Amino acid sequence: MYKTQILIVEDEPILALDIMETLERHGFSDIHMVSSGEEALRHIERNRVSLVLMDIYLQGSLDGVQTVELLKKHGDFPVIYLTASTDDATMQRAKITAPFGYIHKPFKERELLVTIEMALYKHDIDEQLREREEQYRKFFEEDLTGNFIARADGALTACNPAFLRLFGFGSVEAALGANLGERFPEGHSWETFLRAVRDRGKLEYFESELRALDGTIIYTVGNFIGRFDGEGVLAHIHGYIFDDTRRKTLEQQFLQSQKMEAIGRLAGGIAHDFNNLLAVISGYSELLASHLRPEDPLSKDVSAIVHASEQASMLTRQLLAFSRNSVMRMEIVNINTVIAGMESMLQRLIGAAITLKTSLAPRAWKVEVDPGQIEQVIMNLVINARDAMAKGGTLTVSTASEVIRDDPALHFIVRPGAYTVLSVEDTGTGMDEATISRIFEPFFTTKPKGEGTGLGLSTVYGIVTQCGGGIRVTSAPGAGTRFDVYLPRASRTDARTAPSTEAAHPALGTETVLIVEDESVIRSLIARLLRMSGYTAIETADGESALALIGEREGNVDLLIIDMVMPGMSGGDFSRKAAERFPDIKKLFISGYVDAKVMEAVEPESRGNFLQKPFKSDQFIARVREILDRPGNTRPR
């Protein structure tokens, strides 16, 4: 139902009734009909109208255009004129009332509905814009404008309260006599600014970075007017400075979020392709190792390949965590309990030269996270803090509960809502803005070559954002660093345990398994593993041929092994189509990475059946057996 009131002003009762019935059929419920301009005026005085359908040629003393002119004095709402014919003079009068549009009689039902929908939508957008403009106007007038007069040597001679607030002066007396040139940090010299005023006489929308009394950088936009004496020498500067820091901060956060999103997609794609290669390397290496005796000279060589593939797999898991495509097993967790359980280990990790302090909010809200991954977040942040305090210092881990409403500083970090905030703060070397803008990029590191992979903080970023949270970084050179990790408050209170992937039964079987995988080498490897364990393995490269194969076998397939990322029909689309035609067949999904949007295409009861490449042979066979042995629909045997 639409919560809008529509007023129909039409002197043809049959047409008015037809319009009303049409609107009611399409969800509009608050509809009123009048047949004259006078009635419309009386109605508008007593009601809040959302939209008016107005017949231009009304019977009575007021025609439609005259009526609209009077109605507009009572409110702002869209008007759509209904007319069978128009003359130029009437159309010119109608234009002055700024209607949303015109519908010519007779009109089709769809034309009427589309015009109304567009009018309401545009009016709603205009209302929002007006509200925002009003908010920004007040914000601009009351907070941002700092007016001043300064001599050419920079000495302030006059300023307003907003100017005092902007720079942190305690009083007008404290500001007068101060030198404006001292507010320009390095790289933004007063002399350069002064030269521009002398040369141009007036600077409009001039952007600059200025420094408050406490050293804080303020991004400003200002208009500056030079006042010259009779000899053409600059005597004074009149300035109107607007604090643009919030907008600039939002812009930087937005650009940063776009950059991180792009890097995340790139990292996820690389990890996916790399995991497919690792699946082949590790899978065939394990098969080869299984055919070698321990004393065989090649056994150590194969073991080295297996070990290298495991290390490479760890790197891709970190890339997937950064790109928010890692598999997470969510549970309700008390973050204080996690920190308390790690405290002694963290103390050993940071060493005796660093003092570890904890400040845990007694009633910090529980969060829904992967326990292992949140431990990794804490560990990585603590290691990062430790490395920033080579000469020792204090490391503080704290928690708090916080409700975020509409905080511009967090606009592109977290959405409004309830959060548990995990903070890790150090007294180390700190970072400049350039470093802060890159710390979450994969492989970016400030450490010497060979001391770190550059994946620690990128992993933290991926885990936190995949949980629906965000990270705020506060730092400055020589002033230490603080990471505030915002984790959404859990909406449930019960603990949910992830399903075990351990085999409850022997891994061997005789069932029929259809492998749907576009990579032929991986497909052959999986088929070989299955056949070695007694299963009947059928192979196909795409969803269309898989559906045809199942149809040919009249549904006599026990399990589908489906690669999620395939050209043409995706794994999710194939799964859904297979479920519609063959609901009894169970499924196991595999992929180099998992994307939430891709998994949404899968029927809910099968979404937990996922195994990430690369996987160990025994892990794969155990998972196959575990899924086949689950209670549920099975085909007749």
Can you give the CATH number for the domain in which 304 is found? 1.10.287
Asked whether residue 132 is domain-assigned, the answer is: no
Q: Are residues 460 and 360 in the same domain?
A: yes
**Which region holds residue 471: left if phi is over 0, alpha if psi is between -120 and 50, else beta?**
beta
CATH of the domain at 360: 3.30.565.10
Q: To 5 degrees, how large is the angle CA 424–CA 427–CA 430?
A: 90
Question: Quick check: is 131 in a domain?
Answer: no
CATH code of the domain in which 203 resides: 3.30.450.20
The rounded radius of gyration (Å) of the Cα atoms in the chain is 34
Q: Which domain holds residue 158?
A: 143-243
Q: Which whole-number Å values give the CA distances from 536 to 335, 558, 623, in the listed order?
A: 47, 10, 16
Residue 13 lies in a domain: yes
Q: Which of 215-224, 394-403, 592-601 has the highest mean pLDDT?
A: 394-403
Strands 393-404 and 354-359: parallel
Least confident of 80-89, 172-181, 391-400: 80-89
Kindly state the DSSP code that residue 157 receives in the 8-state scheme.
Answer: E
**pLDDT greater than 50 at residue 141:** no
Return the minimum-mean-pLDDT range out of 57-66, 146-155, 189-198, 256-265.
256-265
pLDDT score for 481: 93
323's tokens: 């790109």
> What is the rounded average pLDDT of the residues 293-297?
79
Q: Which of 32-36, 368-372, 424-428 has the lowest mean pLDDT?
A: 368-372
pLDDT in tens, 38-48: 999 999 989 88
Together in a domain, 157 and 236 = yes
Reference 81, options 4, 8, 5; nearest CA is 8
- 434 belongs to a structural domain: yes
Count Cβ atoms within 10 A of the Cβ of residue 602 and give its class: 0-12 exposed, 13-18 middle, 19 or more buried. Answer: buried
Q: Is residue 502 part of a domain?
A: no
Q: How many domains does the chain have?
A: 5
**Does 116 fall in a domain?**
no
**Do 350 and 464 reside in the same domain of the chain?**
yes
Whether 592 and 470 map to the same domain: the answer is no
**74-95 mean pLDDT:** 83
358 and 452 share one domain: yes
Picking from 205, 191, 211, the residue whose alpha carbon sits closest to that of residue 240 is 205
> Looking at the structure, do residues 234 and 286 belong to the same domain, yes or no?
no
Residue with tokens 């919030």: 246
Closest CA to 305 of 610, 614, 524, 594: 614
Q: Say whether both 287 and 379 belong to one domain.
A: no
Domain stop point among 192, 212, 243 = 243
Co-location of 192 and 300 in the same domain:
no
Same domain, 423 and 303: no
Q: Same structural domain for residues 566 and 482?
A: no
Q: Are residues 269 and 150 in the same domain?
A: no
In a domain, 635, yes or no: no
Beta strands in 393-511 (DSSP E): 393-404, 417-426, 470-475, 481-488
The pTM for the full model equals 0.41
CATH number, domain at 578? Answer: 3.40.50.2300
Q: How far are the Cα atoms of 16, 35, 56, 439 from residue 105, in angstroms, in the given order?
A: 12, 17, 11, 63
- Alpha helices, DSSP H only, in 533-569? 543-552
Average pLDDT over residues 200-222: 87
Tell me: do 338 and 483 sit in the same domain: yes
Question: Is the Cα dihedral 422, 426, 431, 433 positive or negative?
Answer: positive
pLDDT digits over 508-532, tens only? Answer: 888 999 999 988 888 888 998 899 8
Residue 506 in this model has a pLDDT that exceeds 70: no
Asked if residue 137 is part of any domain, the answer here is no
- 16 and 39 in contact (C-beta within 8 Å)? no
Give the CB-side neighbour count of residue 457, counting CA atoms within 13 A.
24
Distance CA 247, CA 242 (A): 11
